[in-house]
Structure 1
């Protein structure tokens, strides 16, 4: 049964939070019932909120042509990946609180870990691409060609999905249903479980956890950090190099560029916060998989890590709602079932401070950005 909620991290030999473990201690049945009720309720809330937010986000970007921009294409792809996780992996993981064994068969054992890994791959690789896009838009926007930017962005988004699926193939290949030993009422019992790697070699879980941590967390965040270092340095330098008297339009452009970069940075921060506990927990279990941690602290950390990881699939739309005025306006319109003067809203939106033409923030004359229309990229966020 899925144990670490990390992509492909199925239950290993150190399965300490199965219902059988709770039942083996004093008051274990009560703890089991409480955890079942609380976690099921939390999962239902996560799925409901995640579906509402991500479906609405995708619908906004599909139905509003003004919102089809480079960053919004990436954000839509991010939302689709989150929906994939919410609709497949969350229900399966929730079922683990009602059954001690893996009951979904060999095919699901191979498919579910691969879907988990694909979803997280889409998330972290898309965030890396978004950071690269913000770097290019702010540090060197003259490289962006308006006529082909959307096409190339769609191609990048598709490539990210293909790469994520390809990297998840080993999960489907090596995941298997096996019979494992556990404890219940101070007795050894066997149960059927789904594991992502052969149990014959003790190095497999260690290599698996380290590679997952590097490829899906540490390396992408390191690349993103480099991009944002250059973004911050450019913005700070531009603030000093800007002429004393600049137009209100140029000032609004500068503020919008900062706001767009801030939105992506918030997405990255939320992803890191939500997934870091699971990566640490999975590596801890992989390096101590022959030992059983029966402490209450380990149980609490495990449950919190699960909730945080799945929460990462529903927080982005609401972070965008808080940070983007234009998205908030469209979101509210969708919640009102489309009632209201939508065409007028789009027209006013086109003249709002959130609809910008990205230009270089390097030292330049105030009138220069408007002089060269061939290198503008309009961003709706």
Structure 2
């Protein structure tokens, strides 16, 4: 989705004989000498390799355990959890493909994976990002419906339609990533650096044609709009209405409210909070990378060889890939039910408590859909599930 496969040297478009000019002065103390350069390369390689290994290990452990919990525990198979499982699957795809390839950049300045991988890897990365942000949008819509319009009864086919939505999100993400496969190409790049009159020629994978300098600008802006700004704007609208409904319901709630209604409201607010944390983590992790990519795309013929730019680049890369491993641990901290199952899976605790305990049953699987807008606490609607039991949509976490 970005210039992760480009080196810090911007490519010179074909037919342009002029060498690229750095847009800031290189600090001679840290990179100018050969000894300093070798030391810096070694430290950088060790630090980034360690960071990427940590991201892959933690991400695989968290996401695989999350998916396993939702698959093996029938009580956890709810509408929100289907979306969260899809989110974890997208993160796993990114962790096992794009992260190792990106880590290899610190051992070779050239693209060594061939033309096929040059077209496939950007598609996988963009698909994963699309699955993440579009699924978060769908989750926000689901929380909006549960809180703002709770009287909309869930039908017995709710799980089926949710699975269909999740599959549709994957198909949409793949289709939007197809242009990456069409336009990505392996090219030979020639650059001249005003540092001991050194000329550099290397092979690299670029995500757009080099024939027009508008291509990188259009590419970066479209990526930012489709995969960041527009979805987060939609999510913000959903959460604005959710917050307004919760505030209004708190004022309109009668003095005497049943314990069941209070538990139901707390469950819905907790689920909305979890989704909001997911959205916030996604925005925090990907925003620096989007900004950096647009900066480079609009300064296509320049190089920034400063230490500050290098540090910002590395932090942006680590943050963007960290987004694939933070959700399971955010869920672990926010959801007692998930934490219990997670500890049981890892054999770190005493295992899950029996689901027949009254406190657990009343707080999760037997929650009924009562409108929080109603002022009469006895107005209760039970949504039937496929097996005739009460609806389990709010069992989510």
TM-score by length of 2: 0.88
Task: Give, in angstroms, the shift of residue 303 of structure 1.
Answer: 0.2
Tell me, in whole angstroms, the C-alpha distance in 2 between the residues paired with 1:190 and 1:362: 66
Alpha-carbon separation, structure 1, partners of 2:100 and 2:341 = 30
Q: Cα–Cα, structure 1 residues 144 and 108, in superposed 2: closer, same or farther, change >3 Å?
A: farther
After TM superposition, give the deviation of residue 140 of structure 1 in Å: 0.6
- Hey, which bits of structure 1, 4+ residues long, moved more than 6 A? 21-24
Partner of 1:361: 372
> Gaps spanning 5+ residues in structure 1: where?
1-5
User: 2: distance between equivalents of 1:293 and 1:8?
Assistant: 14
Q: Tell me how far 1:354 sits from its aligned partner.
A: 4.2
Give me the whole-angstrom Cα distance separating, in 2, the residues matched to 1:43 and 1:287: 28
Query: Secondary structure, in 3 states, of the residue corresponding to 1:246?
Result: coil
Aligned ranges for residues 66-215 of structure 1 at < 5 Å?
A: 66-182=75-191, 183=193, 186-215=197-226
CA contact (8 A) 1:10 1:113 kept: no
Residue from 22, 31, 37 that aligns with 1:28: 37
Q: Is the 8 A contact 1:175 1:196 kept in 2?
A: yes
Matched position secondary structure for 1:243: coil
Counterpart residue number, 1:251: 262
Separation (CA, whole Å) in 2 of partners of 1:212 and 1:10: 16
Task: Report the Cα distance in structure 2 between the residues aligned to 1:181 and 1:357, rounded to whole angstroms.
Answer: 66
The DSSP-based 3-state class of the residue aligned with 1:292 is strand
Alpha-carbon RMSD across the aligned residues, in angstroms, is 2.1
Residue 337 of structure 2 is aligned to residue 326 of structure 1: yes
Residue 340 of structure 1 and its aligned partner are, at CA, apart by 5.3
Q: Distance in 2 between matches of 1:291 and 1:340?
A: 58
Q: Does 1:285 align with 2:281?
A: no
Residues 136 and 278 in structure 2, CA contact (< 8 A), matched pair in contact too: yes
Aligned partners of 1:60 and 1:331 also within 8 Å: yes
1:276 and 2:287 matched: yes
**Is the contact made by 1:278 and 1:305 (CA closer than 8 Å) also made in structure 2?**
yes
How has the CA–CA distance of structure 1 residues 120 and 185 changed in structure 2, closer, same or farther, with 3 Å as cutoff?
farther
How many residues are matched? 369
Cα offset for 1:106?
A: 0.1
Q: CA deviation at 1:306?
A: 0.5
